[in-house]
Amino acid sequence: MNFIEKFFTKYPEEKIIKWFKQICVAEAITCFLLYGIAMIWKRYDDEGLLPTIFIIVVGNIHGLFFTLYLLFCVPARKIFKWDDEDFVFALLAAFFPFATIWVEKKLARFDRE
């Protein structure tokens, strides 16, 4: 048992599922804030300090949720009984904007065929 699995054994599956789904949504929201607002704002207000601060803050928050998503994929694989293909797809979803929402809606279900 590796460090991540050992850490998550302290928590019930329902709590991990709830956290995983919230992290998926939060990662997508911060991705939108970073790419959809902060970067555009920086592009058109190059001299202002406020857009730079906004990018730093939102970028750090997005980085936190990105990392949490990757860490939570390990117990989610076990809980949702993902095969290797599903697990790799879930990991790759972190690198594409808003793909974590798809993972939360389609892969993070018990009744999928």
pLDDT tens per residue, the chain (113 residues)? 678 788 888 899 999 999 999 999 999 999 999 999 988 888 888 778 888 899 999 999 999 999 999 999 999 999 999 999 999 999 999 999 899 999 998 887 876 66
Rounded to 10 degrees, what is the CA torsion of 40, 45, 51, 56? 70
Q: Which two tokens stand for residue 18?
A: 């709830």
List Cα–Cα distances, 5 to 8, 12, 59, in angstroms.
Answer: 5, 12, 28
> What pTM did the predictor assign?
0.88
Specify whether the backbone of 63 is left (phi greater than 0), alpha (psi in -120 to 50) or beta: alpha
